[in-house]
Chain A
Amino acid sequence: MFRETARGINFRFMSGEISAEEITRYFLKRIRLGDGAVGSILALLEEGALAQARELDHRKSRGDKLGPLAGTPILIKDNIHICGEKTTCASRFLEHFVAPFDAFVVTKLREAGAIFIAKANLDEFAMGSSTENSAFQKSYNPWDLERIPGGSSGGSAAGVSAMFAPLSLGSDTGGSIRQPAGLTNLYGFRPTYGRVSRYGLVSFGSSLDQIGPFARDIDDLILLQEVLAHHCPLDSTSLANAHEPLLTKDTSLQGKRLGVAFELLDRVDSDVSEVYHNAVETFQELGCEIVPVSMAFLEYAIPTYYVLSSAEASTNLARFDGVRYGRRSPDARELEEVYRLSRMEGFGPEVKQRIFLGTFVLSSGFKEAYFQKAQKVRRLISEEHKALFERCDMLLLPTTPTPAFKAGEITDPVHMYLQDLFTSSGPLVGCPSLSFPAGFSKTGLPIGLQLEGPLMGDRETLRFARAFQEVTPFASKSPPAFDKEFA
């Protein structure tokens, strides 16, 4: 059953072949047996998941109408609230924090009948590109357990890649869904900003954060995204027209203009370059007109992204002060110490670094040179990005410069930030962006590429990927070590 798509599992449940409880027990057991080497899971939600499953079985036996994901297990990144379960953000600060409400997306998933079987590991507060910044455990790439699965949604990616569930949720601020998806042979989608409500997602960079889906199959991803994308009155940045049907029968790309930026290949290794060239050929065969474009603005995207996301993060994380919830240092004797010691003990080095950076770029005397300059560059990038879509319908970009690197291999933060070279401009613009399985390195590591559409062009972006999946074998490949039952 682990190889099954979400739709396949839902079908088997609805046809009466298997109960939701059996499905849930099966995947819980698979995680228990298989996750030791992967480290993708922070908490198994055994009790809650089984209760959900029994409820579904009960409702099914009553003949109730059930949602499109009924009986389908899903992993939730541990910075998204499930009421009554812990939301740790992989941080010591929130180690014991229990979510007092459901995230809007969790509400939508409940309605759709999905079963929350586990909370997935991440870089602390979603800050990182390797999931090595989790305060609790490292996660590894099922394709090579010496390598990282990417980040920050590394647990969500590794878990679906190891087939612990057909679906998971991640959050993407500068590439945190797409980069791990690319490194683990998954589809990982960052929707247009505002399509998916952020209510119940612990904020990192509010103007950049988007929740999005992971799946091994494009139609699963589309189905999940349709469940997630709804207007939410509790998130003021939620779009009024957030929802739209995403699955289209028409997979023809005949005459569509695909923008390709070969200049970017100077920045990637030869495996990625080859995969990119092959994909361009495939899209050409699918009827696309290839339009060479220049994306010189990517040079500026990383610094702009780090200035803005850190600025927002420094204030979003100010609420973690030890006064109302979360960690309060037992050594604190007065107010100043409550703040200083609780935060010193509660936050890891990467989080502290971003808070320092964010506080600095907003501080008087430096704000004009950093924060306000970055805001201007963000606008310019948006304008250039928009202009590209006058000449093409879709952009093709690498997801990462290289396949997955080894755990501990990158220690220099600036080097690590280069992981975001191709993923940080999309969030600055707010456009939809999808990493899809596009090939493998000579050593058998997965390589993802990105399709990036214009604002609100979510359906078209997914349609391109669907057409690609129909004619390529990559998405159906699984990590060999996990393509088996565990006993």
Chain B
Amino acid sequence: MKGFEPVIGLEIHMQLNTKSKMFSPEANRFGDEPNTNVGFVDLAIPGALPVINREAVNKAILFGLATRATIETTSYFDRKSYFYPDNPAGYQITQFYKPLLVGGQVETLVDGEKKTFAIEHTHLENDAGKLIHFPNFAGVDFNRAGAPLIEIVSHPCMHSAKDATAYATAILAIAEYLDITEGNLQEGCMRMDVNISVRKIGEHLLRKKAEIKNLNSFHNMELAIEAEVARQIAFYEDHPDGSLESGTYRFDLERRQTVLMRRKETADDYRYFPEPDLPPLVITREEIDRLAQRLPELPQERYRRYVETLGLSPYNANVLIHNRRLCLFFEEGLRICKNAVSLCNWVTVEFGGRANERSLAVDALGIPARHIAELVNAVDDGRITGKMAKEIADMMMTSPNASPLDIIVENPRFRPISDTNELDAVIATVLEKHPQSVLDYKNGKDRAFQFLIGMVMRETKGQANPEIVRDLLLKKIEMM
């Protein structure tokens, strides 16, 4: 690694969650019986012609607005030719020469450091079908054929696997906020091609790159980048004056290696040319303005609100904004809870941790956000102690519909001991048992005082109200 710098660019293919396909009226829906959502255009029946889906165009424009791209008021579609059974027309309709969105940028935190990544362009295109292999033949499911995609092409502006993951995560968050994708990576809603080269630090030109195709999880992408960067550096260390050949690779997860598919020299010639079945895609200023009004709060705006207004830590804010559903859950709790910092902790750490043990997301536990907020409020109001709250949280996990307020009312042990007589007796016993700590405190050791509080809490099995214990303890020691 020493002395070398990876240079990474991403091409992200993202499926848009439109009702119908990019160029046909068939349903844009997956998981159905194979070849049920297919029409004449999707099967490339001769005589059928493509018609642009304006909903897909609008969703792409929203993405452009959110990433501050230039929205071209006139863009064009092109044919990209290649033969494959999942590509029914023998060409894909894409935007090669003049895409809808040019430029744009994404801001995000990488290891706590704020970075801005530049997008080169974003274009619309249609997806291919899916090959399904059987023992001695293969079938094609065309349900996905014609699904609308945006391809987001970054500049080669990333320098580590972490950069790439942070960028891709930020892109996904933006798309989820805009509600333009289902965002389900396992189902292939977002697929990444990664271009990687390495160079000596200080070099300005790019060396020959490798393209790793079709990565469908952030984790795999990170592993693939690390493996490829290591391979290239090893090559240059062995051949200081050598030059790698450009090529297209796939990632073998089991061997943790990138595997060459083909060299660039033998690359397909896609013979791009303007799609004659479609007129130029013309967007008016008014349409763009109308869409701009529909823009929701975006991840980075929300991040600023969380940090600057709610006082969340940058780390927590970053965790929240990149998980739209968790964020919605948090926001729901926020409606009845003033203590955002504590609520965030309870949602992400306490319940987050408990959910994690069951491999679930917090919002999938069945516990209403309102209940978590009520729990936080109960602690803030001093009605229960933090320790009690944790126990109540465990009980909420086993009966997700139970309100924490009901649990508190129904269980006497969750009533904090605030009776000073009862506490005075406990405190007297504790002071008697730990004379040295009393001395230490009087000699200025604050930690000794904390220890004494802890002892009282232990004696009361955590039921004592810590505020009251503190006051009583102070008074008692002063009197000694």
Contacts and interface: CB of A to CB of B under 8 A. Distances in A.
Given A319-B89, A323-B85, A339-B83, A103 B47 contact: yes
A155 to B, nearest CB: 18
Nearest to A358: B271
A99 interface: yes
Nearest to B271: A362
A233 B52 CA distance: 11
Given A201-B47, A318-B83, A325-B45, A371 B90 contact: no
A60 interface: no
Interface in B77-106: 79, 81, 83, 85, 88-91
Given A101-B40, A324-B44, A367-B271, A315 B90 contact: yes
A207 B279 contact: no
B46 interface: yes
A312 B47 CA distance: 14
A319 B279 contact: no
B236 to A, nearest CB: 30
Given A100-B45, A201-B47, A363-B269, A319 B277 contact: no
A236 B51 contact: yes
A311 B275 CA distance: 11
Interface in B49-68: 49-52
A37 to B, nearest CB: 31
B48 interface: yes
B426 interface: no
Contact of B271 (A89, A202, A335, A359): A359
B441 interface: no
A94 B271 CA distance: 26
B269 A312 contact: no
Interface of B is mostly: loop
B48 A199 contact: yes
Interface in A197-223: 198-203, 205-207
A411 interface: no
Nearest to B140: A323
Interface string B8-52: 000000000000000000000000000000001001111111111
A318 B52 CA distance: 21
Contacts of B48: 101, 199
A273 interface: no
Nearest to A80: B47
A206 B93 CA distance: 14
B277 A236 contact: yes
Contacts of B44: 319, 324
B47 A199 contact: yes
Interface in B86-140: 88-91, 140
Contact of A321 (B51, B83, B277, B278): B83
Given A81-B47, A324-B88, A100 B52 contact: no
B277 A87 contact: no
B276 interface: yes
Interface string A318-342: 1111011100000000010001000
Contact of B279 (A101, A198, A237, A321): A237
Contact of B276 (A233, A312, A362, A367): A312
Interface residues of B, number: 28
A362 B48 CA distance: 23
B273 interface: yes
Contacts of A359: 271
Interface in A53-105: 80-81, 87, 89, 94, 97, 99-101, 103
Given A236-B277, A367-B271, A319 B49 contact: no
A364 interface: yes
A99 B45 CA distance: 9
Interface in A291-327: 311-312, 314-315, 317-321, 323-325
A51 to B, nearest CB: 22
Contacts of A80: 47
Contacts of B278: 236-237
For B44, B45, B49, which residue has the most chain A Cβ atoms within 10 angstroms? B49
B164 to A, nearest CB: 30
Nearest to A336: B83
A160 to B, nearest CB: 23
A234 interface: yes
Contacts of A207: 276
B469 to A, nearest CB: 77
A235 interface: yes
Nearest to B267: A364
For B50, B81, B277, B278, which residue has the most chain A Cβ atoms within 10 angstroms? B277
Contacts of A367: 271, 273
Nearest to A102: B47
A206 B45 contact: no
Given A233-B51, A319-B89, A364-B269, A202 B277 contact: no
B140 to A, nearest CB: 7
Contacts of B45: 100-101, 325
Contacts of A236: 49-52, 277-279
A359 B79 CA distance: 13
Contact of B85 (A200, A335, A363): A335
A234 B23 CA distance: 10
A203 B51 contact: no
A335 B133 CA distance: 13
Nearest to B89: A319
Interface string A228-240: 0000011111000
For A233, A236, A311, A371, which residue has the most chain B Cβ atoms within 10 angstroms? A236
Nearest to A197: B49
B411 to A, nearest CB: 66
B88 A319 contact: yes
Given A87-B46, A233-B51, A367-B271, A318 B85 contact: no
Given A100-B40, A236-B49, A324-B44, A206 B271 contact: no
For B44, B47, B83, which residue has the most chain A Cβ atoms within 10 angstroms? B47
A213 to B, nearest CB: 19
A363 B51 CA distance: 27
Interface in B265-312: 269, 271-273, 276-279
Nearest to B278: A236
Contacts of B81: 314-315, 318, 362
B140 A315 contact: no
Contacts of B83: 318, 321, 339
Given A318-B91, A319-B89, A335-B85, A200 B47 contact: yes
A10 B110 CA distance: 78
Interface of B: 40, 43-52, 79, 81, 83, 85, 88-91, 140, 269, 271-273, 276-279
11 contacts: A80-B47, A97-B46, A198-B49, A202-B47, A203-B49, A205-B276, A233-B51, A236-B50, A236-B277, A324-B88, A362-B272
Interface of A: 80-81, 87, 89, 94, 97, 99-101, 103, 198-203, 205-207, 233-237, 311-312, 314-315, 317-321, 323-325, 335, 339, 359, 362-364, 367, 371
Given A94-B46, A101-B48, A320-B46, 12 more contacts: A87-B47, A89-B46, A236-B50, A237-B278, A314-B271, A317-B90, A318-B81, A319-B88, A319-B90, A325-B45, A362-B81, A362-B273
Shortest beta-carbon contacts, A-B, top 3: A318-B90, A207-B276, A206-B276
